[in-house]
Amino acid sequence: MATSPAAIIPASHYTHTQLAQILGRNQGSELFFQQPFVPLTAPFINKPMNVTRPWQALHLIFRGRVTIGVANYAVVAAEAPQTILQRVRLNGTHNVFGSVVPIDMTGATMFAWTRLFRLRSPSLYINGVRQPDPNVPFQQIGATFGNVGFYDLEIHYYLPLVPILPPSSKLSSIPYMYMGKNWGDSLQLQLFMGDLTSFGTPGVGTTVAFSAFGSNLGSPTITVNQVFEILGPLEPNVDPGLVVRSSQNVTAGMTAAGNTLQIALLQKKKMSNLLIKTGNLLAGTSGGISVFQNLLDNMLDFTQPTVDNKPIRNNTNNFAAKEHAGFVFATILPQGYLNFTYVDSMSPLTAYRGDQVEGASTFAIFTNVLTSGAQQAVEVLQEQIFGDATVK
């Protein structure tokens, strides 16, 4: 039952001990829905996401068997097999921000996203063996996945909906959870499924069969789990902000060497992180399928987010910027991933105020392209923060 404004007790009226007894706990990963996997479909989960409790993280799990027959893959995609989930999109109507898409990102990037901020990434199990976390190099090999044989896959995609900060800063992320008072029953999750070309380029005669985990029959499944936080009587005190993560692939201008080239325009919103992912896209995939054949750290240099051609991060070499980003969060950025963070204070409140550059003519990313190639591409993911999170 909703709490009336008159019944709200200001957070300042709670003692430190009382707050410590309430905040920071969650209720684990809870099953919400199980969706059959059908190649090259994009189903909506047929019921709205549950926000009757503060929702903190989305946890998707692909489980199934992939049987490769006749011939090995000629080329294995860098991020296979997590590329089988092509894209994840969450949309809804927020009572303050209106119609919004807070999650719109590729499955491969969603899998690797937490690695930018934590030493541990979500788990990928192949035939019962947990695979190494994304690192440098980051390239799948046929002997692990892609040669003739069967592969029982369990792929976890774990995405906090709040800013990802170290555990010691967890309380700073609380005012960004999803709550029913903001969304009602409007949140809809859509999953975009891949096919055999999501894994790479099949060899001559290669066959690929999908079946249930541990079996040659049935179909794989994608399980949708939610992680809820416990706020207790403090829930009515929180007016959440909203973290929005949206990615796009850019090829225009990226296929030939050049200097001071514009990658993409940025949204004029508060910006907490900006991911630049680089490599060569795989050719010959099915319609609607987009995966990186390989990931490259040496494709770009002098990459700078700018406002009216003035850098807001004075980066003169990408390898230094990448190493610094790893030290900020005590992690290892995977090959091809470069993140510019504006929450290195470990507080969302220091996000770059892109919402205050409305008078600027351009808010964009510029770079030098060092190499040439017809399949060179950049994936840009701008993590934005809508609104001002407050606790009464």
pLDDT digits (tens, 9 = 90+) for 322-346: 999 999 999 999 999 999 999 999 9
User: In this structure, is residue 13 part of a structural domain?
Assistant: no
User: In this structure, is residue 239 part of a structural domain?
Assistant: yes
Q: Hey, what are 208's tokens?
A: 């690929």
User: In this structure, is residue 160 part of a structural domain?
Assistant: yes
Higher pLDDT, 5 or 187: 187
What distance in Å separates the CA atoms of residue 366 and residue 315, rounded to the nearest whole number?
A: 11
Amino acid 4: pLDDT: 44
What distance in Å separates the CA atoms of residue 358 and residue 192, rounded to the nearest whole number?
A: 34
pLDDT score of 256 more than 60: yes
User: In this structure, is residue 2 part of a structural domain?
Assistant: no
Residue 349 — very low, low, confident or very high, per pLDDT cuts 50/70/90?
A: very high
List 34's β-bridge partners, or say none: 223
Measured in whole angstroms, the distance separating CA 379 from the mean position of its chain's CA atoms is: 12
Residue 5 — very low, low, confident or very high, per pLDDT cuts 50/70/90?
A: very low
List the single range of 97-111, 116-130, 234-248 with lowest mean pLDDT. 234-248
Phi, psi of 305, rounded to the nearest 5 degrees = -70, 135
Question: In this structure, which amino acid lies at residue 193?
Answer: M
What distance in Å separates the CA atoms of residue 375 and residue 225, rounded to the nearest whole number?
A: 35
User: In this structure, is residue 337 part of a structural domain?
Assistant: yes
What average pLDDT score do residues 155-181 get? 93
CA angle, corner 297, sides to 294 and 302, nearest 5? 140
pLDDT digits (tens, 9 = 90+) for 275-305: 999 999 999 999 999 999 999 999 999 999 9
Amino acid 2: pLDDT: 42
Helix (H) or strand (E) holding 320: helix 318-328
Q: What is the mean pLDDT of the chain?
A: 93
What percent of the chain shows pLDDT beyond 70?
94
User: In this structure, is residue 10 part of a structural domain?
Assistant: no
Helix (H) or strand (E) holding 371: none
Amino acid 278: pLDDT: 98
Amino acid 12: pLDDT: 63
What distance in Å separates the CA atoms of residue 234 and residue 171, rounded to the nearest whole number?
A: 13
The enclosing domain of 36 has a CATH number of 2.60.120.20
Q: How many domains does the chain have?
A: 1
3-class secondary structure, 19: helix
Q: Compute the Cα dihedral for 288, 291, 293, 299 and give only its sign.
A: positive
User: In this structure, is residue 15 part of a structural domain?
Assistant: no
Q: Report the largest interatomic distance among the alpha carbons of the chain, rounded to a whole angstrom.
A: 70
pLDDT digits (tens, 9 = 90+) for 189-216: 999 999 999 999 999 999 999 999 999 9
What distance in Å separates the CA atoms of residue 296 and residue 357, rounded to the nearest whole number?
A: 32
pLDDT score of 134 more than 90: yes
Q: What's the per-residue H, E or C state across 226-273?
A: EEEECCHHHHHHEECCEEEEEEEEECCCCCCCEEEEEEEECCCCEEEE
Q: Hey, what are 333's tokens?
A: 């950025």
Contact 337, 323 (CB under 8 A): no
pLDDT score of 20 more than 80: no
User: In this structure, is residue 23 part of a structural domain?
Assistant: no
Residue 7 — very low, low, confident or very high, per pLDDT cuts 50/70/90?
A: low
For residue 332, give its domain range.
Answer: 28-391
